[in-house]
Structure 1
Amino acid sequence: MEPDIKLYLKPRPANPKFGDRPWMLVRPDFYYGPFFPAWQPVPPSATEAHTVHSPALATALTKLYVELLPRIRKCESDIPRIRTVMSENPLSTLMWEGFDIMMQCEDLLTHCWYEPVKLVFGDKAPPLPPRRHRGVKRAPKYWKLVDEAAFPLGRYVELVDDIDLHRMVWATIYMVIMENIGSIIKLRAQISNCLENTALGYITKPLGKYVIPFIDRWMDGGENDSDSSSGVISASTSNGSTSSGGTEPSKSDNPLAVPKPSFPSRIGRPIKPSLGNKKIKID
């Protein structure tokens, strides 16, 4: 797979906070981009070209546009049928393809959080916590690093170096996923509620509430808290000292309607201890 990714941005007006320095605003309608010609059409007005070298990003973009999005759209057309089945026998919906897609999306979201941490902190980046210890309460130090490394969404952000372009693309992948799986998330919650009223629900609910947290604490050597939060980044709360709070005159910066678990808002520009400062170069 070609590791060099071509991306295009639309021209942005001068921002009083950044002067003549380049900046970017990533928001749900992708008004300014980024656009990736290898995977999607590029508007004629998107004339600012960049190239980033990243095998991990190339793999993630291919996974998103070639595999996940077509399957998500297929499953969305199947949601009315699943709702009908759910009302009759919710247990029969557990093997629905949409839930397998959700797991793959969650895996890709994990990369969207962790790859910027590796980019920003290099050799000082911690290993990715195990899945069951990845919640905000169980891994607060990890999520603090994610908070520092993540590219703020829905905010004006100065583009200082190539690392910012990488972070921007990871944030874009995150936002595309979250903007497309809302209906499946809602259906999963509805099915979960239905299952609670079944015989299986009466058995599994006490297990989830009492037995599993006890086993986890025992295996962790007495850790007191249990946390099922996925720690999904909230695009509406990310902020940073390199971003300004202005709004576009014609479009809202933060029109996200899908509720998402969030981690604390971003404070300050991340320090990049292990990386050279490569200035942004426009192709």
Structure 2
Amino acid sequence: MAPPSGGYVEALTLLRDRPLVVLTGAGLSTDSGIPDYRGPSAPARTPMTYQEFVSGPAAQQRYWARSHLGWGRMGGAEPNDGHRAVARLGADLVITQNVDGLHERAGTPRLVALHGRIAEVVCLGCRETSDRAALQERLAELNPGYAERHAAAPVRPDGDVELEDTAEFVVPDCAGCGGVLKPDVVFFGENVPAERVARCYAAVEALTERDGALLVAGSSLTVMSGLRFVRRAARAGTPVVIVNRGSTRGDELASYRVHAGCSEFLTALAG
């Protein structure tokens, strides 16, 4: 049975004064100028998989060339009204599928960045983590004028751009061990770290005992990393509200399905 559609006021009424877990996706960051993955106007995308990234230097060169350009644009994005509203909600836990760091910058407490943060880099050899801003300076020094030559490349929601001309891009190794550097995010083909998943499941399961609700904002729930929490809540009888422009994979599990902008709805909910 399909959920009630467009129950804006009813959804707000259901969610108010309840314990909440909030699951957010790329649609929450569109008001910050970051395109989403699968919205009505989203471009087709073929994200690099983990297996492709570790296949050799050519793939790593292609990834970092695109990411070098995209970082300058994503790095300048600011939290929007939706991020600030989530920070005010006082949710038991906020689970974000986004890697843009905007929840952190909005001051969101009790946050799990399910897929990591694009602002951090990890070495696949020694596992040392470092700041992305420092790597960005190294990339700029090794590739003078590259960003300016490709300033028109369209930005993508993964924090990179659409670009094929990457053959001459110079990629540095880890300064400590000479290993391969990778953004500290979960690529397609990688598993979300088990401890993150366990924390999220625990928060969702606790909603049942506390008469709480799960709110999904700006996610199409296409990938299992987010959908599994909706399934767990629905199976336990916990109300689920989905706010998203466009259909989602969890629509049939929702108590209410609201076709609205995230910033608008979340601001109304947070008051």
TM-score, normalised via structure 1 length? 0.26
The structure richer in strand per residue is 2
Task: Tell me which structure has the larger Cα radius of gyration.
Answer: 1
Greater RCO structure (CA 8 Å; 6+ sep): 2
The structure richer in helix per residue is 1
